[in-house]
A and B are shown apart, each in its own frame.
Chain A
Amino acid sequence: MKAAKFDYTKTNDVAEALSVLTAEDGDSKVLAGSQSLGPMMNLRLARPDRLIDIRALDALKAVTQAPDHLFVGALVTHAAIEDGILPDVTRGMIQHVAAGIAYRAVRNRGTIGGSLVHADPAGDWPAALRALGAQIVIDGPAGTREAAIDTFQLGAFTVALEEDEIVRGVRVPALSGSARWGYHKICRKPGEFAESIGAYVCDPESGIARLVLAATEDAPLQLDTAAAAIAQNDGAKFDLDAARMALTETGETFDPFKLRMHAVALHRAVAQAYGA
């Protein structure tokens, strides 16, 4: 299929992008890597009246390091992260995650900001950055604001972003030398949509312990009680049954197959963090 008719605007000015976004004649969509929006438009599942191509916005390409975090611009591609071009503040975690996203052709164009805003339940960045406790930096008509990732994704394909806002980038917290992480994605084949994603980050210095489950039908799920117990026991008692128990305790219901996939993903993410 071919996309339905749309207008196209490209700008190198954030303010102009924001003003076009709020133009009153029809709805607009932001185009970054076009790895999800493009196919959806060609399937005529998405039919925006206007595309705003933000790929020329230099402010969204910045990568800046601070003592406690790394700012990654929304337009940074998965490939750039995979290739280790960015300073490593997560002990290799985001590089590992980036390398496992879809196929290289997708990674060459797909962006970290696009992934967060698209908010596919099976997306890698919503899961991984949730486990890291990242902050989202958002530009709007009133200036720049920050949002915790925990409250940013509201559900499947839904985020707490106003119609007149765009994501500028994400602040990735720096992990200490004693931090551990694990990330386990279960895919039928490399590059396919995940059956389950388990992500675990524990940093004794900051006291952070986060266990995240993704590839459900909703936003990623955070299992704080389980995470605290895992951190306390250095992962020792978190076997498959414990993972299944932790999932049951969330109150969510899963069919038997998904429950098993999720339990394995969590178990293996934790096992990876503790070198088992």
Chain B
Amino acid sequence: MSDSGASSVFEGPNSHIGRSLSRASARRTVAGRGRYTDDITLPRTVHAAFVRSPYAHARILKIDTADAEAMPGVVLVMTGAELAERSTGPWIGTLSCFEGMKSAPQYAMAVDRACWQGEPVVMVVAERRALAEDACEQIVIDWEVISPTAEAETALDAGTPVLHPDLGDNLAFTKTIDRGTVDDAFASADIVLEESFSFGRHTAVSLEPRALLADYDPGTERLTIHTSNQVPHMIQAVFARTLGVPEHNVRVIAPDVGGSFGLKIHTFGDEVAATAASIELGRPVKFIADRLESFVSDIHAREHQISARIAVSKAGDIQALEIDDLAGVGAYSAYPRTSVFEANQVLNITAGPYKFENYRAKTTVVYLNKVPTSQYRSVGHPIGISVGEHMVDRAAETLGMDPVEFRRRNVMPDDAYPGVAPSGVPVNDLSHEACLEKLIGLMDYEGLLREQAALRKQGVYRGIGIAGFIKGTAPGPQGYYGSGGAPIASQDACTVKLEPSGGVICTVGVTDQGQGVDTVMGQIAATALGIPLDQIRVIEGDTDAVPYGGGTYASRATAIGGEAVYQASCDLRREILTMAGILLQSDAETLDIVGGNVVTAGSGEIRVPLSEIGRIGHFQLGELPNDYQPTLSATRRFRLTELPYIFTNGIHGAYVEVDTDTGFLRLLKHWVVEDCGRLINPNLADEQVRGGCVQGLGGALYEHCLYDENAQLLNGSMADYLTPMAAEMPDIEVAHVETPTSESELGAKGAGESGTGAAPGVVMCAVNNALRPFGAAVTAQPMTPEVVLRTLGKI
């Protein structure tokens, strides 16, 4: 903590920090008054639809668009080659921070070859979407099918086709972390346990699909892009550069966003194509991805296979852990964030809560003829946490130790910081011990054990799972996107302005996707300024209106954007007090702002309302000395300085029942103890945790992009792809330990993703706890009935 004065601001009577306020936008969205991209219709809007490759890998021999061009309502047909001519060149999805990484040049639409089923090939723009789809059906493409590469296991084998011959092989990236003396530790270990895991591919399935409305005005040469997105400034930079429009002429507006989860931080060729069409036509072009094309064009995530081994002593100490990860990404590495962060995070965070030094982790990332994968909520964490916690449970089981006791013995102590995780990533301000003890009480662990034992006698198999974690949040500038060469800001910024009315406008670079970022920013600003919340208007999601920032990803909005808001608001407060001091002929030090009024510090006597400061500051400047020009606004930026991430920690508990006849799982109860530092809004933090858990449970139980040997997606519709919904979800009880981060005055850490990270692992631990009487363990996700029955040897 930087100073004791700061903490008194957060805890004082003026504070809105720690209050469970409802989301500012909830009332309008619940009333159906949300304004999503597809709700915006501009005059002369036309609609884009795409012909997509039906093959996972095929050469384009000829495209005949003549019939399509003659169809009613069609205003433009554009092939991939034609789009390439209107672009500044292909993307290459590598970052210099990933040493040795390679990726092939990728155009927004396929030019001479399609590399995954669903890759856009031809765009049709028509007066209505249905007419565009009618015309798409009239486009004839001569294809020459090429053997696809569908399996990660064989992607590097000699006989496997190479996706991009110029790359030499299908290897995207490989990396090994090797710390301590791993080989010696295994050689001399009392006990060594091995296991193999597989994690299925899944995708975000946001309720609102990707959506874009591009509006190019040839008169002003301004391009306005309305898009359902988390990172307006990145979209501004990437679209401007790809389409050759000066960045300052591009305005990106993210209106209400109906779910994003990391899906909407990437560059998608169909969106770029629709924007190019707007420039070509000089009229607005709308593209709304439908559910079918979402499944084959939204980023996918998490296709990993891992083998792991752990060494433990008879006394119950972890001595070493080794993991070997194989990740199958798509046909290209996603631009500009790459497709290898996920594997990198698996290496960083596996067994992150534990104090041991011998750790080796290797990943091999290979290209496949499938939809490109990239960052999706809780990047890599579900995989690393599942693997680490399963190995910990196996070790405890083999030693005959209770899994809680084993964790008590092995977690990093709460007084051990700053320190490093086994992978070497720096960690600080964590609370594994406090979280573990709080969880045990919260879930009544002993009571569950008794109930479990009693029910087993009746043939009911229930399992109890515990899974601790570290979670990388709020990345800093070191070794990340910006330093790797991508136009993505690791800083975020805020401008606060006092208006003549005494109201405050707070503009932020971070964005709200329904999680309540605007509410949280308002709480921070109001607290720092000493004004009521209804005196503040938070504006986000418009590059014309807000200072440059990275947007919302990697659980950074509150930790990074929130600190910028806090610092800017403190500056504005100081200026208001300075001006008040001049007006009141008082020393600014003797003044304070409480409830929207300048008051005498200590006594609270009202001296002048902010509305008067605003009025004089804008309209009656003659009342001020000539050498004083108030700006009544402040802009501050914030980035991490010491750490690459603000790592957070927490722990989950799960109680499940396994139907051993059908292999079906029933989630009975889920508990979370989370340490996201200073809690700004406990209710919204809880909602983030719960929603995150549900998303993680979806991947653990249901969600799976199934491909056949020809790399054809078999279940790309909502009829065949299962997503978690309220009926099958357990109650999720959330509690907190608050250890503010030392990186900022506000002390907030990220909270948005960790539910997703740990939920799959804890349920896998619980299922395996239930299956222990059968000597069986599930190590594949999603844990489908077939997987469970096969594990039990019943099919």
Q: Find out whether the CB atom of A261 lies under 8 angstroms from the CB atom of B722.
A: no
Verify if B113 is at the interface (C-beta below 8 Å from A). no
Verify if B501 is at the interface (C-beta below 8 Å from A). no
How many positions in chain A have a CB within 8 Å of any CB in the partner chain?
22
Option from A1, A3, A39, A257 in Cβ contact (under 8 Å) with B789: A257
Q: Find out whether the CB atom of A264 lies under 8 angstroms from the CB atom of B661.
A: yes
Option from A3, A195, A240 in Cβ contact (under 8 Å) with B785: A195
As a 0/1 sequence over residues 247 to 271 of chain A, the CB contacts with chain B under 8 angstroms (1 = contact) are 0000000001100110010000000
Q: Find out whether the CB atom of B789 lies under 8 angstroms from the CB atom of A190.
A: no
Verify if A236 is at the interface (C-beta below 8 Å from B). no
Verify if B22 is at the interface (C-beta below 8 Å from A). no
Q: Which chain A residues lie closer than 8 Å to B675 at the CB level?
A: none
Q: Find out whether the CB atom of A1 lies under 8 angstroms from the CB atom of B292.
A: yes
Q: Find out whether the CB atom of B702 lies under 8 angstroms from the CB atom of A189.
A: yes
The distance from the CB of A82 to the nearest CB of chain B, in whole angstroms, is 15
The distance from the CB of B48 to the nearest CB of chain A, in whole angstroms, is 13
**Which of B38-46, B126-134, B643-651 participates in binding chain A?**
B126-134
Q: Which chain A residues lie closer than 8 Å to B134 at the CB level?
A: 4-5
Option from B128, B292, B728, B795 in Cβ contact (under 8 Å) with A190: B728
B784: nearest chain-A partner, CB-CB: A188
Q: Find out whether the CB atom of B719 lies under 8 angstroms from the CB atom of A193.
A: yes
The distance from the CB of B785 to the nearest CB of chain A, in whole angstroms, is 7
Q: Find out whether the CB atom of B727 lies under 8 angstroms from the CB atom of A264.
A: no
Q: Find out whether the CB atom of B662 lies under 8 angstroms from the CB atom of A188.
A: no
Instruction: How many A-B residue pairs have C-beta atoms within 8 angstroms? Tell me.
Output: 53
Q: Which chain A residues lie closer than 8 Å to B728 at the CB level?
A: 189-190
The distance from the CB of B359 to the nearest CB of chain A, in whole angstroms, is 37
Q: Which chain B residues lie closer than 8 Å to A264 at the CB level?
A: 661-662
Verify if B794 is at the interface (C-beta below 8 Å from A). yes
Question: When chains A and B are docked, how far (Å) is the Cα of A188 from the Cα of B723?
Answer: 10
Question: When chains A and B are docked, how far (Å) is the Cα of A233 from the Cα of B2?
Answer: 79
Q: Which chain B residues lie closer than 8 Å to A59 at the CB level?
A: none
> How many residues of B sit at the interface, in one of the four size bands?
20 to 34
Q: Find out whether the CB atom of B789 lies under 8 angstroms from the CB atom of A260.
A: yes
Q: Find out whether the CB atom of A192 lies under 8 angstroms from the CB atom of B130.
A: no
Question: When chains A and B are docked, how far (Å) is the Cα of A1 from the Cα of B133?
Answer: 7
Q: Known: A240-B661, A260-B795. Contact between A189 and B725, CB under 8 A? A: yes
As a 0/1 sequence over residues 777 to 795 of chain B, the CB contacts with chain A under 8 angstroms (1 = contact) are 0000000111001000011
Question: When chains A and B are docked, how far (Å) is the Cα of A257 from the Cα of B722?
Answer: 18
A189: nearest chain-B partner, CB-CB: B728
The distance from the CB of B81 to the nearest CB of chain A, in whole angstroms, is 25
Q: Which chain A residues lie closer than 8 Å to B153 at the CB level?
A: none
A268: nearest chain-B partner, CB-CB: B661
B290: nearest chain-A partner, CB-CB: A1
As a 0/1 sequence over residues 728 to 746 of chain B, the CB contacts with chain A under 8 angstroms (1 = contact) are 1000000000000000000
Q: Find out whether the CB atom of B722 lies under 8 angstroms from the CB atom of A188.
A: yes
A186-204 interface with B by 8 A CB criterion: 186, 188-193, 195
Q: Known: A188-B702, A189-B728, A264-B662. Contact between A2 and B795, CB under 8 A? A: no
B593-631 interface with A by 8 A CB criterion: none
Verify if A229 is at the interface (C-beta below 8 Å from B). no
Q: Find out whether the CB atom of A188 lies under 8 angstroms from the CB atom of B785.
A: yes
Q: Find out whether the CB atom of A260 lies under 8 angstroms from the CB atom of B794.
A: yes
Which of A39, A195, A257: most chain B CB closer than 10 A? Answer: A257
The distance from the CB of B488 to the nearest CB of chain A, in whole angstroms, is 33
Option from A3, A191, A261 in Cβ contact (under 8 Å) with B130: A3
Q: Which chain A residues lie closer than 8 Å to B794 at the CB level?
A: 260
Option from A1, A44, A186, A192 in Cβ contact (under 8 Å) with B722: A192
Q: Which chain B residues lie closer than 8 Å to A260 at the CB level?
A: 661-662, 789, 794-795
B-side interface mostly: loop
Which of A3, A43, A189, A240: most chain B CB closer than 10 A? Answer: A189
Q: Known: A257-B789, A260-B794, A261-B662. Contact between A189 and B727, CB under 8 A? A: yes
Q: Find out whether the CB atom of A189 lies under 8 angstroms from the CB atom of B130.
A: no
The distance from the CB of B588 to the nearest CB of chain A, in whole angstroms, is 60
Option from A39, A191, A193, A240 in Cβ contact (under 8 Å) with B725: A191
The distance from the CB of A258 to the nearest CB of chain B, in whole angstroms, is 9
The distance from the CB of B253 to the nearest CB of chain A, in whole angstroms, is 26
The distance from the CB of A33 to the nearest CB of chain B, in whole angstroms, is 16
Q: Find out whether the CB atom of B795 lies under 8 angstroms from the CB atom of A257.
A: yes
The distance from the CB of A230 to the nearest CB of chain B, in whole angstroms, is 19
The distance from the CB of A247 to the nearest CB of chain B, in whole angstroms, is 14
Which of B702, B722, B724: most chain A CB closer than 10 A? Answer: B722
Question: When chains A and B are docked, how far (Å) is the Cα of A191 from the Cα of B723?
Answer: 11
A126-154 interface with B by 8 A CB criterion: none
Question: When chains A and B are docked, how far (Å) is the Cα of A84 from the Cα of B128?
Answer: 44
B258-278 interface with A by 8 A CB criterion: none
The distance from the CB of B67 to the nearest CB of chain A, in whole angstroms, is 16
Q: Known: A240-B661, A257-B795. Contact between A2 and B702, CB under 8 A? A: no
Q: Which chain A residues lie closer than 8 Å to B129 at the CB level?
A: 2
Q: Which chain B residues lie closer than 8 Å to A192 at the CB level?
A: 722
Q: Which chain B residues lie closer than 8 Å to A195 at the CB level?
A: 785
Q: Known: A189-B722, A261-B662. Contact between A2 and B292, CB under 8 A? A: no
Q: Find out whether the CB atom of B727 lies under 8 angstroms from the CB atom of A191.
A: yes
Q: Known: A4-B134, A188-B722, A189-B727. Contact between A257 and B786, CB under 8 A? A: yes
B292: nearest chain-A partner, CB-CB: A1
Q: Find out whether the CB atom of A256 lies under 8 angstroms from the CB atom of B290.
A: no
Q: Which chain A residues lie closer than 8 Å to B786 at the CB level?
A: 257
As a 0/1 sequence over residues 278 to 321 of chain B, the CB contacts with chain A under 8 angstroms (1 = contact) are 00000000000010100000000000000000000000000000
As a 0/1 sequence over residues 690 to 718 of chain B, the CB contacts with chain A under 8 angstroms (1 = contact) are 00000000000010000000000000010
The distance from the CB of A25 to the nearest CB of chain B, in whole angstroms, is 19
Q: Which chain B residues lie closer than 8 Å to A3 at the CB level?
A: 130
B132: nearest chain-A partner, CB-CB: A2
A66-125 interface with B by 8 A CB criterion: none
The distance from the CB of A263 to the nearest CB of chain B, in whole angstroms, is 9
B751-795 interface with A by 8 A CB criterion: 784-786, 789, 794-795
Q: Find out whether the CB atom of A256 lies under 8 angstroms from the CB atom of B722.
A: no
Question: When chains A and B are docked, how far (Å) is the Cα of A188 from the Cα of B727?
Answer: 12
Question: When chains A and B are docked, how far (Å) is the Cα of A191 from the Cα of B724?
Answer: 11
Question: When chains A and B are docked, how far (Å) is the Cα of A271 from the Cα of B67?
Answer: 62
Binding site for B on A (CB under 8 A): 1-5, 39, 43-44, 186, 188-193, 195, 240, 256-257, 260-261, 264
Binding site for A on B (CB under 8 A): 128-130, 133-134, 290, 292, 661-662, 664, 702, 717, 719, 722, 724-725, 727-728, 784-786, 789, 794-795
Q: 26 A-B residue contacts at CB 8 Å?
A: A2-B129, A2-B130, A4-B133, A4-B134, A5-B130, A39-B719, A44-B133, A188-B785, A189-B702, A189-B725, A189-B728, A190-B725, A190-B728, A191-B727, A192-B722, A193-B719, A256-B795, A257-B786, A257-B789, A257-B795, A260-B661, A260-B662, A260-B789, A260-B794, A261-B662, A261-B785
List 5 A-B pairs, minimum CB-CB distance, nearest first: A2-B130, A256-B795, A190-B727, A189-B728, A257-B795
Known: A2-B129, A189-B727, A193-B719. 9 other contacts (CB 8 A): A2-B128, A43-B717, A186-B664, A188-B702, A190-B725, A190-B727, A257-B786, A260-B794, A260-B795
